[in-house]
Chains A and B, each alone.
Chain A
Amino acid sequence: MDSAAILPGLSIIDQLPLLAVVLPMLAAPLCVLFGNRHIAWLLAFLASLFSFLFSFHMLLQVMDGDVLSYHLGGWAPPMGIEYRIDAANAFVLMLISGISTVILPYARRSIAYEITKVSHTLFYCCYLLCLTGLLGVVATGDAFNVFVFLEISALSTYVLVAMGAERDRRALTAAYDYLIMGTIGATFFVIGIGFLYSVTGTLNMVDMAERISTLEDNRTVQAGFAFIVVGMGLKAAIYPLHLWLPGSYTYAPSVVTAFLAATATKAAIYVLIRFMFSVFQPEFIFELHTFKWILMPLAILAMFAASLIAVFQTDLKRLLAYSSVAQVGYMILGISLASKTGLSAAIIHLFNHGITKAVLFMVVGAFLMRVGGSFTKYLNGLGKQMPITCAAFVVGGLSLIGVPGTAGFISKWVLIDAALQKDLWWLAVLIVLSSLLAVIYVWKVVEVLYMKQPDETRVLKEVPYSMLVPMWVLAIACIYFGFDTDLTLRSATVAAESLLSGGIK
């Protein structure tokens, strides 16, 4: 090794891909070491904030199609582990760290209500580890590294979900179910990676993509593809594989639900996209068949079945959980169209749904804190008693439906556009029809909030500002990204282009 290779003289800008992931990882043990919940919160917030700033800076860097490559330990790929940031992952990194930064100020008061004080430090530690895992999954360019980070985030997620047991013991069984299914999903993913490794002899995604591109008829590659799609499908809660989701989202502490709903399934969907479009060639016959005969029907099924189940729920949290399953269907639908517009629809919906669901679950957390339950019965007439919180719910609900002027509209618009480009007009009709189901369940809640007679005997005040402000930051973001689509649409298009043009190259 010559001295230039040893001391490349990197500036702080070159270190960003790594720092965005490592800062939360450093903060997590520090939380335990200090053992004070206030310091832990501060560390978590700072780590998350800097991660966000770094991710945003990286997004601006890669917006014109550049790629940032970071070699861990100075070992150059394909031998060493590489963090590879292009428009697609920078965008998802920004979503995850951004949501986390907004949620943390909210978390302070919310978990004070839902979790005993002793566990707060460990809560922030697990939260940071979960954040590290999710950011790592997205940042890394090494297939096995994806698995490791996936499990870091999953294991801490199980703990976070189980922390809901103080309010309802069913959080424990929900966490257990999640653990079993999540581990099966991750193990399927490892089997898939193993198959690909046995064929290509490499773990670097770019390298793998190059070697796979000539191996269309290889049975091992096809089996690997199947394992990866099923494994990640479990993690992303694609419709029939969603069984862990409603339970975990319903019984987890509200902060955890808001964070997971906005980020965890999104990271899994990102991995799915990354493997389908960059590692494998989307032109492969077996992949086209998967899109057409498996993913698209399942996506349509999710849009309708999960929305329909959501309509009949009386627990607001469970209702929104099923709505999440339905919304994952839209993203999968975008993927299954296998076109540039379809892919950017999936990516943009990933972002818009992330902020929308975060608002809605944060509102539920606020309700929970004031009225002690999320069943619609408790929510009668809250619109008069907690007007600011309820208004945030309405904004989130409109964005969930996809009303013009909100972020949700943009993603549905692009999705319908993608369907029409493929002359699938019936698909466009189905998208609109399934949105009507969303109208029903959102309206159901709005009706309870505003039309029902409030319980006059209870005196309610708004939740503290530390919860209201983050809620409204995201609610305003829902509206803002409905009008100014420059950032979202442009990054989604660049991301889709870079994914489709031979991927991570």
Chain B
Amino acid sequence: MRHHLLLRVITKLLVGPILIFALYVQFHGEYSPGGGFQAGAIFAVAFILFGIVFGLDKVQEVFPPWLVHKLSAVGVLLYAGTGVYSLMLNSTYLNYSSFSPSNPISGQHWGIILVELGVGITVASVMVAIYYAFAARPPVINDEEW
């Protein structure tokens, strides 16, 4: 898409706001609409858009496939680890209140933020991984034949 100047300029303008919007959705998810899944999907959109317009190589320079794979595991670990941490505090799995027994509400906040962060990381990296997996396949129809 080298010759599509308009697309390239607009993509460059959009990628930043998309990422910021994703972070906004992520960190407001605990008590308003939003949360890890939506934020992760929006976050991944920025990379996928960039990849579609500038090519797979360019986006993989920014977000290499090995990092995508590791991050998808890190997100799940963050989620599960939050639960394990509450186990270590002698409480039930994912019982966020145990994080700060003196102030359960703040414990709930911490717990849900951590869990949503884990979800967000995993969703974003899995979405990007799915895009990479399909885009990296050699095309059966080449560009001229379209």
Direct contact of A and B (CB under 8 A): yes
Bound complex: CA A32 to CA B66 (Å)? 10
Bound complex: CA A25 to CA B122 (Å)? 14
- Segment touching B, from A4-12, A93-101, A423-431: A4-12
Residues of B within 8 A of A73 (CB): 92-96
| Contact bitstring B53-75, A, C-beta under 8 A = 1, else 0 | 00000000000000001101110
In the complex, chain A residues 20-47 whose Cβ is within 8 Å of any chain B Cβ:
22, 25-26, 28-33, 35
| Contact bitstring A84-118, B, C-beta under 8 A = 1, else 0 | 00000000000000000000000000000000000
| Interchain CB contact under 8 A, A32 and B97 | no
Residues of B within 8 A of A10 (CB): 90-92
Q: Answer whether A6 and B97 are a contact pair too, CB < 8 Å, given A25-B80, A29-B77, A32-B70.
A: yes
Bound complex: CA A33 to CA B68 (Å)? 11
- Segment touching A, from B9-17, B35-43, B81-89, B133-141: B81-89
| Interchain CB contact under 8 A, A7 and B74 | no
| Interchain CB contact under 8 A, A7 and B69 | no
Tell me whether A1 is interfacial, beta carbon within 8 Å.
Answer: yes
**Residue from the set A10, A22, A26, A29 with the largest chain B CB neighbour count within 10 Å:** A29
Residues of A within 8 A of B92 (CB): 8, 10, 15, 18, 70-74
Residues of B within 8 A of A22 (CB): 80, 83-84, 93
**Total number of A-B contacts with CB less than 8 angstroms?**
73
Tell me whether B98 is interfacial, beta carbon within 8 Å.
Answer: yes
In the complex, chain B residues 91-108 whose Cβ is within 8 Å of any chain A Cβ:
91-98, 101, 104
Residues of B within 8 A of A15 (CB): 87, 92-93
Q: Answer whether A72 and B74 are a contact pair too, CB < 8 Å, given A3-B101, A15-B87.
A: no
- Within the complex, the shortest CB–CB distance from B137 to chain A, in Å, comes to 14
Bound complex: CA A7 to CA B101 (Å)? 7
Residues of A within 8 A of B97 (CB): 1, 6, 74
| Interchain CB contact under 8 A, A74 and B95 | yes
Bound complex: CA A1 to CA B102 (Å)? 11
- Within the complex, the shortest CB–CB distance from B105 to chain A, in Å, comes to 10
| Interchain CB contact under 8 A, A7 and B73 | no
Residues of B within 8 A of A8 (CB): 90-92
Bound complex: CA A440 to CA B97 (Å)? 62
- Within the complex, the shortest CB–CB distance from B66 to chain A, in Å, comes to 8
| Interchain CB contact under 8 A, A33 and B77 | yes
Closest partner residue, chain B, to A34 (CB atom): B73
| Interchain CB contact under 8 A, B87 and A6 | no
Bound complex: CA A18 to CA B101 (Å)? 22
| Interchain CB contact under 8 A, A30 and B73 | yes
| Interchain CB contact under 8 A, B93 and A18 | yes
Looking at chain A's contact residues, the main secondary structure is helix
Tell me whether B76 is interfacial, beta carbon within 8 Å.
Answer: yes
| Interchain CB contact under 8 A, B73 and A32 | yes
| Interchain CB contact under 8 A, B84 and A26 | yes
Q: Answer whether A29 and B80 are a contact pair too, CB < 8 Å, given A3-B101, A6-B98.
A: yes
Closest partner residue, chain B, to A3 (CB atom): B101
A26 contacts which of B70, B77, B101 (Cβ < 8 Å)? B77
In the complex, chain A residues 62-90 whose Cβ is within 8 Å of any chain B Cβ:
70-74
| Interchain CB contact under 8 A, B95 and A6 | yes
| Interchain CB contact under 8 A, B91 and A6 | yes
| Interchain CB contact under 8 A, B104 and A6 | yes
Q: Answer whether A72 and B70 are a contact pair too, CB < 8 Å, given A25-B80, A29-B80.
A: no
Residues of B within 8 A of A74 (CB): 91-92, 95, 97-98
**Residue from the set A9, A15, A25, A73 with the largest chain B CB neighbour count within 10 Å:** A73
- Within the complex, the shortest CB–CB distance from A211 to chain B, in Å, comes to 26
| Interchain CB contact under 8 A, B90 and A7 | yes
Q: Answer whether A33 and B70 are a contact pair too, CB < 8 Å, given A22-B93, A26-B77, A74-B92.
A: yes
Bound complex: CA A1 to CA B93 (Å)? 17
Residues of B within 8 A of A11 (CB): 90
Residues of B within 8 A of A18 (CB): 87, 92-93
Closest partner residue, chain B, to A9 (CB atom): B90
Bound complex: CA A485 to CA B81 (Å)? 41
Bound complex: CA A6 to CA B80 (Å)? 19
| Interchain CB contact under 8 A, B101 and A6 | yes
- Within the complex, the shortest CB–CB distance from A6 to chain B, in Å, comes to 4
| Interchain CB contact under 8 A, A72 and B93 | yes
Q: Answer whether A7 and B70 are a contact pair too, CB < 8 Å, given A26-B84, A29-B77.
A: no
**Residue from the set B83, B87, B91 with the largest chain A CB neighbour count within 10 Å:** B91
Closest 10 CB pairs of A and B: A29-B73, A74-B95, A32-B73, A29-B76, A73-B94, A6-B97, A33-B73, A29-B77, A18-B93, A74-B92
Extra contacts besides A33-B73, A72-B93 (13): CB < 8 Å: A1-B104, A9-B90, A10-B91, A15-B87, A18-B87, A22-B80, A22-B84, A26-B77, A26-B80, A31-B73, A70-B92, A73-B94, A74-B98
What are 28 A-B interface contacts by the 8 Å CB criterion?
A: A1-B104, A6-B101, A7-B89, A7-B98, A9-B90, A10-B90, A15-B87, A18-B87, A22-B80, A22-B83, A28-B76, A29-B73, A29-B76, A30-B73, A32-B70, A33-B70, A33-B73, A33-B74, A33-B77, A35-B70, A70-B92, A73-B92, A73-B95, A73-B96, A74-B91, A74-B92, A74-B97, A74-B98
Residue numbers of B with Cβ under 8 A of A are: 69-70, 72-74, 76-77, 80-81, 83-84, 87, 89-98, 101, 104
